[in-house]
Amino acid sequence: MNPAFTTAVTTETVAGLRFELEMVANFELLLEHYVATATDEQERVPYYAHLWPASRALVTWMAERPDLWPGHRVLELGCGLGLPAITAATLGARHVTGADSHPDNGTFLSRNATRNGVQVDVLTMDWGRPALRSHFDAILGSDLVYETPMIEPLFWGVVQLLAPRGRFVLADPGRPPFNAVVEHAESLGFSSEVYAEDEGFVVEFTW
């Protein structure tokens, strides 16, 4: 095995929920591997291999609202290790899909879902070009928007995939484009409500 892909298992407890997550043991070594070998710019930074604090903020928000998930179809965009997707399945969602654009992400998501005793479908997908015809009752995302140009393709995908009367729940650490995200969503007809959690902001968009 390439040493860059050596893994470790950690335990995360968020809002009283306990999860086991398998992730790359040395993120810097993995980053060096992709910088040296990746031919696609999108593959150079392995965002999927790190548990971002905003994902914990999203899980906290979800756990505080357990009635939102049972029986619903849920999609996590840019899922990485899949903690929010796994949480949705743990809280009773009927069908959960985790989507990420990085081709190496799926293995980690599958392993983590299995470790936590839930089923999460794995999909390699760019949210600006959704490879799905399904509609979801809820779409989840955490720390997805680093730059303003990322906002429009994100919401283009959300509009294609979100069911009528569905909700898009986005956690963000407060990056500079945050206000522009909310303004763009409202220009598309979404209503928004912002919540402050310990590790970031969570915005619930509904239409």
| Domains of the chain: residue spans and CATH | 47-206 (3.40.50.150)
Distance of alpha carbon 189 from alpha carbon 170, whole angstroms: 16
Phi, psi (degrees; rounded to nearest 5) at 186: -65, -30
Q: Give the sheet arrangement for strand 73-77, strand by strand.
A: 121-124, 95-100, 73-77, 136-142, 162-172, 200-206, 191-197
Q: What is the pLDDT of residue 40?
A: 76
Share of the chain above pLDDT 90, in %: 80
What does pTM read for this prediction?
A: 0.95
Give the count of alpha carbons within 13 A of 99, CB side only. Answer: 23
Structure tokens that stand for 60 in this block: 């906290």
- For 101-110, the pLDDT digits (tens) are 998 999 999 9
Q: Which of 35-49, 69-83, 136-150, 186-200 has the lowest mean pLDDT?
A: 35-49
Residue 3 binned pLDDT confidence (cut-offs 50, 70, 90)? confident
Q: What's the mean pLDDT in 189-201? A: 97
Q: What's the mean pLDDT in 191-202? A: 96
